[in-house]
Amino acid sequence: MSLPFYIDKEIYKDHLVNDLNVPASSIVNIYPKKAPFFLYKENGLHFALNISDNKFIHIDFLKGQMGWRLKRSEHETLIKKALGKKSSNLKIFDGTAGFLSDTLIFLALGHKVIACEQSYVMFMLLNDAIYRAKEELNFLENLNLVHGNAVDLYNNTENIDLIYLDPMYPINKKNSLRSGNMNDIKNILKIEMIKDLEDQIFFDLKKQQYKKIVLKRPIKSKIIDNNLNYQVKGKSTRFDVYI
């Protein structure tokens, strides 16, 4: 699916083509009448989901809750426990990149990460956010963000210490904390006509060779595979660990 990239200043064109690999043929100078489309402004790339609601999605790692979490990554005790004893230098395969929040914490803790995202829209928004933050967040050099299906991409990787998965799940009142972000991803996947298979990614990767799988789940959700080794539980989230 080819989505237009709207720019109101010609100077943005080179950056989009050369730094973000946007095909020159997708760049337009006339504001699209209908969403969806990308929009590039001074502060980076945005994705227009719905013009009438003024619903634009934009990722900034340095601001808001993410910026704050990154400044105190040492306090991420739950994630640290789930990753295990080795405090740094793990090679982590994050099969469900999303907004990259979990991966950024892994990187801030000193690990290397290959992160996969099936949505092109999310991938482009992330690439742009990475580009803007890379001078401030040196650890981004330890990240390899790839677009595609994680189950296929895993076959091309070597020496992975840990597979991390945070699949999509149905939103209800009990787990509505992250529902804003999840809804945005769901709407984007709908536009791209990608059918998210939720927990299937776990079962597919569990068939492969692995050292350890850490599966993030809402705290009260069912255990999806009883062969788990241990759990790390927080208030709203838990990590099910398979070795």
Where do contacts with ligand SAM occur on this chain (CB under 6 A)? 95-96, 98-102, 116-119, 122, 149-151, 166-168, 182, 185, 189, 196, 201
Residues sharing a CB contact under 8 Å with residue 210, sequence separation 6 or more, in sequence order: 160, 163
Name the amino acid, one letter, at 54: N
Q: H or E segment at 203?
A: helix 200-206
In DSSP terms, 56 is beta-bridged to 48
Q: Which is nearer to ligand SAM, 39 or 104 (CB)?
A: 104
What is the rounded distance in angstroms from the CA atom of residue 184 to the CA atom of residue 190?
A: 10
Q: Which is nearer to ligand SAM, 7 or 66 (CB)?
A: 66
CB of residue 96 to ligand SAM, shortest distance in Å: 3
Name the amino acid, one letter, at 185: I
Strands (E), 104-158: 112-117, 143-147
Name the amino acid, one letter, at 25: S
Nearest one of 231, 92, 114, 239 to 161, comparing CA atoms: 92
CB of residue 113 to ligand SAM, shortest distance in Å: 11
Coil, strand or helix: which one is 44? strand
Q: Which is nearer to ligand SAM, 87 or 181 (CB)?
A: 181
Q: Which is nearer to ligand SAM, 15 or 80 (CB)?
A: 80
Quick one: tokens of 47? 């994705």
Q: Rounded to the nearest 5 degrees, what angle is found at the Cα of 58, between the Cα atoms of 53 and 59?
A: 150
What is the rounded distance in angstroms from the CA atom of residue 117 to the CA atom of residue 107?
A: 17
CB of residue 13 to ligand SAM, shortest distance in Å: 28
CB of residue 59 to ligand SAM, shortest distance in Å: 10
Of all residues in this chain, which one has the CB nearest to ligand SAM in the complex?
A: 98
CB of residue 154 to ligand SAM, shortest distance in Å: 9
What is the rounded distance in angstroms from the CA atom of residue 240 to the CA atom of residue 139?
A: 27
Q: Which is nearer to ligand SAM, 20 or 189 (CB)?
A: 189
Q: Which is nearer to ligand SAM, 113 or 122 (CB)?
A: 122
CB of residue 163 to ligand SAM, shortest distance in Å: 12
Q: Which is nearer to ligand SAM, 22 or 201 (CB)?
A: 201
CB of residue 98 to ligand SAM, shortest distance in Å: 2
